[in-house]
Amino acid sequence: MKASEALASRRSVRAFLERPVDQALIRRVIAQAARSPSGGNLQPWHIYALTGAPLAELKRTMDLRTAGLAGAESTEYDIYPKQLGSPYRERRFAVGEALYASMGIQRDDREARLRWFSRNFRFFDAPMALFCFVDRAMGPPQWSDLGMYLQSLMLLLREEGIDSCPQECWALYPRTIAGLVGAPGELMLFTGMAIGYADLEHPVNRFPSERAPSNEFATFLGFDAGSDNRTAQAATTGDKP
């Protein structure tokens, strides 16, 4: 699989088959993804991967904690800016609406939305999962390094036909998760990730997530006018040129 194919075929998968994931393969891609770049080669990622009994126990604990989200803890970082302005607010809204619409869940059906949201805390029934932590001493540049690591991992998984969903909703339960996986106090939980084989029949895995065209986020200086072609625009939106 080419890098472009891995990238194009990655999407956030939120319904998985029961099919198990090969443990040796996961160990390998977790190691391989560390070829990602990081400023000063700090390699600031700390990964806790779970399957089998520890994962089942975590899901059981979370079932009890998340009933109605009553047991949410205070987050250790802001998942989104407190004032999410345009165009980010609209983008967040659009993907949320597309997700719920794919399953026929109405905007005003708060209960159904919450019920769906709580499936995050079962890793959408994925057979494999991981948490990514970062040392509390690290700042924004190192947090961006985590993103590089996680994207490498997700692309390597695609090469193996495996799907994933990064899940920062786990930041709502930082103390519970640190306790369950045994992470030391100097580490802060960034995100979880569900890993497994996609249930391609499930509608939640079938809605498109939009991207803004590149002329909305990139500025090209010294480029020929003729280089702005439909192929470049289609590459960001995912449309056929």
Ligand X SMILES: Cc1cc2nc3c(=O)[nH]c(=O)nc-3n(C[C@H](O)[C@H](O)[C@H](O)COP(=O)(O)O)c2cc1C
Quote the least distance from Cβ 198 to ligand X, whole Å: 11
Which residue, chain included where needed, has tokens 């036909």?
161
Tokens for 217?
């986020």
What part of residues 35-54 is at the interface with ligand X (CB under 6 A)? none
Task: Out of 17, 49, 55, 169, point to the residue binding ligand X (CB under 6 A).
Answer: 169
CA–CA dist 130, 97 (Å, integer): 27
Stretch of 10-18, 47-55, 101-109, 180-188 lying at the interface with ligand X (CB under 6 A): 10-18
Which of residues 22 and 161 has its CB atom nearest to ligand X in the complex? 161
11-40 positions binding ligand X, by CB under 6 A: 11-12, 14
Q: Which of 9, 209, 218, 239 binds ligand X (CB under 6 A)?
A: 209
Tokens of 131: 């948490």
Q: Which of 29, 50, 129, 165 binds ligand X (CB under 6 A)?
A: 165
Each residue 63-102 as x (binds ligand X by CB under 6 A) or -, in order, gives --------------------------------x-------
| Beta-bridge partners for 16 | 198
Q: How far is the CB of 62 from ligand X (least distance, A)?
A: 13
CB of 143 to ligand X, least distance (A): 10
SS3 of the chain: the string is: CCHHHHHHHCCECCCECCCCCCHHHHHHHHHHHHHCCCHHHCCCEEEEEEEHHHHHHHHHHHHHHCHHHCCCCCCCCCCCCCCCCCCHHHHHHHHHHHHHHHCCCCCCCHHHHHHHHHHHHHHHHCCEEEEEEEECCCCHHHHHHHHHHHHHHHHHHHHCCCEEEEEHHHHHCHHHHHHHHCCCCCEEEEEEEEEECECCCCHHHCCCCCCCCHHHCCCCCCCCHHHCCHHHHHHHHCCCC
Report 103-142 residues binding ligand X (CB under 6 A).
Answer: 120
Cβ proximity to ligand X, 144 vs 209, nearer residue: 209
CB of 227 to ligand X, least distance (A): 26
Verify binding: residue 176, ligand X, rule CB under 6 A.
no
Q: Which of 42, 24, 58, 29 is nearest to 163 (CA)?
A: 29
Between 47 and 95, CB nearer to ligand X: 95
Shortest separation between residue 106's beta carbon and ligand X, angstroms: 18
Of 14 and 158, CB closest to ligand X? 14
Contacts with ligand X, residue ranges (CB under 6 A) = 11-12, 14, 95, 120, 165-169, 191, 209
